[in-house]
Amino acid sequence: MYAIFRAQGKQFRAEKGKTIQLPLMEAEAGAKVVFDDVLLTSDGETIKAGTPTVKGAKVTGEVMGMTKGEKIYVFKFKRRKGYRRKTGHRAKFTEVRITDLKLG
């Protein structure tokens, strides 16, 4: 049993009990979040695709906390000019544990 939902411009697959990483949200640890923009649901036998969303379907989760992803290095250079720049960044994520799926 799973659902595909849209949050912050990206699509995610949700299964009950799984923890997923979403782009940084303004929510405190322990807060409940509800995603009602569900695009597709499956109960193991049948698949419902929304046009554009599945009516009555929603994904409920609990915010576990904030994390950082792996460091990504950005290296710029121009050949034969002596120009080199190395920078990096770590993307910030919100970890959400899926507590309930309502397939609609």
Reported as a single tens digit per residue, the pLDDT across 46-55 is 999 999 999 9
Give mean pLDDT, residues 27-50: 94
Domain that holds residue 21: 2-102
Give the per-residue pLDDT at 104: 79
- Yes or no: say if 79 and 43 are a contact pair by the CB < 8 Å rule: no
Give the per-residue pLDDT at 11: 97
Assigned token pair, 14: 């949700």
Q: What's the rounded Cα separation, in Å, for the pair 66 and 4?
A: 22
Give mean pLDDT, residues 26-33: 95
Give mean pLDDT, residues 17-28: 95
Give the per-residue pLDDT at 91: 96
Is pLDDT of 5 > 90?
Answer: yes
Q: How many domains does the chain have?
A: 1
